Copies of this chain bind each other. A is one copy, B any other.
Amino acid sequence: MKMKDTLTWRDIQETPALLEAFTARAGGLEKTALRGGDKSVYLVGRGSSGTATLFAKYIWEEYAGTITNFIHPHSIFEARKPLNFKGAAAWAFSQSGRSQDIVACLRRLMGWGARGVAVTNEADLKKNPLARLAGRHILLSNSRELPVAATKSFILQLWAVLWTAQAWSRCFRPADFKAAVKAAAAAVNEDYGGDELVRRVKRANMLGFVGRGAFNAVAEDSALKFREMAMAHALGYSAAEFLHGPVGAYTKKDLVFLFSPSAAVPEDIRRVMTALDGRGTPYKVVLPPKGVKFPFNCVPVDIRMKLLALRLALARGLDPDNPHGLKKVTPTF
């Protein structure tokens, strides 16, 4: 199977144009990007959509003065007494808009007084019960995503989060968004680390991904994609959490990716490097591309890691679009 024949590769190639298309519609967020009376929001999502909510927590709390909380569907379903969500804004993230438990969870929250916002990649409301229920819809793109592992829709979720922060607090410059699209266009054609990096990743028993703040979300989602696409044992951590215990299990046979938010590697990532040096665990520091600032450099770095997961899957002879053979994917576009 050739990389360019995979749906995942085609999805990733589309990303820069879809980011620009979202930008053209971003003015609509003034109406849809709802907050609660106390300027807080509640987010729910699973898998990739869950790591997108983690990105939102960091961006919205750090840049947009907005307290950002997570909903765990299990406790919503099991609650013996109503929870006081009156006037709260509940954002539900689901690529398809059809994730049954997310729809059921939002319904329950709205029954307790929350107002809903759906973030989905499904333009057709007939096929999108989540957007119909919420009544407010942030559409990521008009381009369906068919592979099991979400790539372009995850990057578009990050993009929607950044534009929402901008709608709430004008915290970024328009040039930041433009630079990110340019960096994304470069990243989709990059052969990051070359074949040598693919070989190192393939040899590793365990892959670790360590980032701080917004890059913690990129780390978590990278790990998820290496698991989903390439069936690797892969885990994401924050730098603080990693040194708190997980580092103790890493050996010479593993490989750890460390995400630096800037060309100058910050102190907390350096501490992880020192700890890994002491254990003889190989690592790779992922420096962001030039010309785009934090947190916007999360976008090209995320693309780079998703392409690497795709390359690893192919090197292992797996079908990255459908690695577990669990779900038939029919390309119908």
List, in ascending order, chain B residues with CB within 8 A of A245's CB. 47, 224, 227-228
How many A residues are at the interface, by size bracket? Answer: 35 or more
Pick out which of these stretches binds chain B: A119-127, A154-162, A232-240. A232-240
List, in ascending order, chain B residues with CB within 8 A of A167's CB. none
Question: Nearest Cβ distance between residue A221 and chain B, in whole angstroms?
Answer: 11
Q: Bound complex: CA of A232 vs CA of B205, how far in Å?
A: 13
For A318, the closest partner residue in chain B by CB is B248
A190-242 with Cβ < 8 A to chain B: 205-206, 212-213, 216, 224, 227-228, 231-235, 238, 240-241
**Chain A residues at the B interface, C-beta cutoff of 8 Å:** 38-40, 46-47, 50, 57-58, 61-67, 69-70, 72-76, 78-86, 101, 169, 171, 205-206, 212-213, 216, 224, 227-228, 231-235, 238, 240-241, 244-246, 248-249, 323-324
17 further A-B contacts with Cβ under 8 Å, apart from A46-B241, A47-B245, are: A39-B84, A46-B244, A58-B74, A58-B78, A61-B72, A61-B75, A64-B81, A65-B80, A65-B81, A65-B84, A69-B70, A70-B70, A74-B212, A101-B240, A205-B205, A227-B249, A228-B248
